[in-house]
Amino acid sequence: MSHSLSPVELIRRKRDGEILSDDTIQGFIQAYTAGEVPDYQMSAFLMAVFLKGMTVEETRALTLAMLHSGAVIDFSDIPGFKVDKHSTGGVGDKTSLVLAPVVAAAGVAVPMISGRGLGHTGGTLDKLESIPGFRTDLTLDDFRRLVSTIGVGLIGQTPEIAPADKKLYALRDVTGTVESLPLITASIMSKKLAEGIDALVLDVKCGNGAFMKTFPNAQALADSLKATGEAMGKRVTALITDMNQPLGWAVGNALEVIEAQQVIRGELLTGRFAELSIDLSAHMILLGGVTDTLEAAREKVLETIRSGAALEKWKEIIAAQGGDPACAENDAKLPTATKEAVVVAASDGFVTHIETEAVGMAGVVLGAGRLTLDSVIDPSVGFKIEVELGAEVKKGDALVRIAFNRDQTLPEVKARLERAFTIGLEKPGE
C-alpha cells in the first residue's frame, strides 16, 4: 500500500473516531481495488465508518478515491455545462425519461449513466429497454459519441466506471453497512462524477416508498451529497420530493414509458409526475446556464415540449440507441400485457394511506421488477394507479388496474395491493 498506515492501524483510527488524511483514504481504496486488502479488513473499515461517520473532507476524499479507481469521462471538448440528475429511487419514478430529451432539446448536454431496478424501486435501464430494440449496453466510446453528436446518451454502468464502488457496494450489502451517509454519498457521487458532468440535480425521495423514510434523514442525505459535490467543484442542486405514494399513474416498465411520453408529447402537463419532471428539467437547464432564472428555465421546458422539440429529441435518442422511433408517437408499439384485473375499494371513504413500498413489491411479484440481479423482467406488466392520497372513493371504485400475463401471480399481487391502500372515513390532513 502506498500510504504509511497499515490497514489495521487505519481501521483502529477510524474506529476511535479519528479523521483520516486524503492520502490515507486514497491509498486504502487503491489497495482494496487492486486486491491487496482483503474483504474482512474492508468490512471492518466500513463498520467503523458506519459507527463513527466521516467529515465532509473525508467523504470528499473517499468519493475521489472511488471515482479515480476507474475511468473518468472527459467531455471538456463539448461546449457548455454537462448536467445530469440523480434520484435516490422510488415507485413509478420515470422522470429521467422526460428530462433527457427535454433538457437536451433546450441545449444542455446530458450524459446519463443509469442503473437497473432492484427490490421495490424501478430502474431507468429496464424502462428504456422496454422500447423495442433500444440498447443501453453501449461502450464509453459510444457514450461519448452520442453526447457529442445529439447532446445526450443513456447507458448503463460499464466495468470501467468506479470499480471500487462495485466491490464496496456488494460488501456493504452483506455487512449491515448500507445506511451510512458517507458511504451512500461516495457511492452515488463517484458514479455520477465519472460521467464527466459539471453540474448535478439531486432528487432525494422521502416517504414510505423511499430509502429515506423521514424528512430529517432525507435532508441529511441531500446535504451530504450537495456538500461533497460542491467540495469537488461541481454545481449541485438538491430537491427533497415525496414518495408516500407512487409517482404518477404508471408502475411497470412499458407503462412508465407511456406516461413519460405523454409528458414529452405535451398531453400530460399537470399532476405530480408531470410537475416534478418539469421542475427537475428547469433546475437542470438553470444549472446548464441556458437561463438566468428558474422561472425562465420553466418556460424553456414548456416551450421545448409545446414546440415538439422534446419529442423530436426523444425520437432521435431512440433511433441513435437502436430503438424504433415510431414508439415515441405510437404507444401501441410498446410491449402490452394480455390481461387486466382491477383492485377496488372495499368501502366508501378517502384514501388515507398508500404503502408505496408494498405497491413496488407487488410489481416485483407480478414480474415488473427483480428480486435478484438475475431475475427476468416482463416489460409489459404493471399497474395503472387510479387514485391519489386523499381521493374520495365509493365502494367498488377502481383503485388499481393490473396489467398482467400470468394468472398464477394474480392472487398474491391483488392481496398485496389490497393491503397497500387504506380507506378511512376522514380525509387526511383535515
Element (H, E) at 343: strand 339-344
The values of phi and psi at residue 301, to 5°, are -60, -50
**In the annotation, is 165 catalytic?**
yes
Helix (H) / strand (E) element for 205: namely strand 199-206
Instruction: Select which of 68, 82, 172, 226 is catalytic.
Output: 172
Q: Is 351 helix (H, G, I), strand (E, B) or coil?
A: strand
* Listed residue (242, 193, 202, 243) closest to 223, CA to CA: 202
Residue 235 β-bridge partners: 199
Close Cβ partners of 314 (under 8 Å, ≥ 6 residues apart): 100, 101, 261, 264, 328
The three cell numbers locating residue 417: 395491493
86 is catalytic: yes
> Residue 407, CB half-sphere, CA atoms under 13 Å: how many?
0
Are the C-beta atoms of residues 131 and 323 closer than 8 Å to each other? Answer: yes
CA nearest 341: which of 406, 255, 267?
406
Pairing of β 235-242 and β 199-206: parallel
Q: At 241, give phi and psi (nearest 5°).
A: -125, 155
Considering 84, 93, 126, 165, which one is annotated as catalytic? 165
Which of 14, 60, 82, 86 is labelled catalytic? 86
Neighbours of 333 (CB within 10 A): 15
Of the candidates 187, 190, 281, 380, the residue annotated as catalytic is 187
Q: How many residues does the chain have?
A: 430
DSSP state of 429: T
Four-point Cα dihedral 1, 227, 95, 375, nearest 10: 30
Q: Is 191 a catalytic residue?
A: yes
Is residue 13 flagged as an active site residue?
no
Q: Are 280 and 85 in contact (CB under 8 A)?
A: yes
* Catalytic pick among 60, 94, 167, 191: 191
Separation between Cα atoms, residue 201 and residue 99, nearest integer Å: 11
> Is-contact 93 121, C-beta < 8 A?
yes
The torsion region of residue 293 among left (phi > 0), alpha (psi -120 to 50) and beta comes to beta
Catalytic-residue membership of 22:
no
Query: Which residues are designated catalytic?
Result: 86, 165, 172, 187, 191
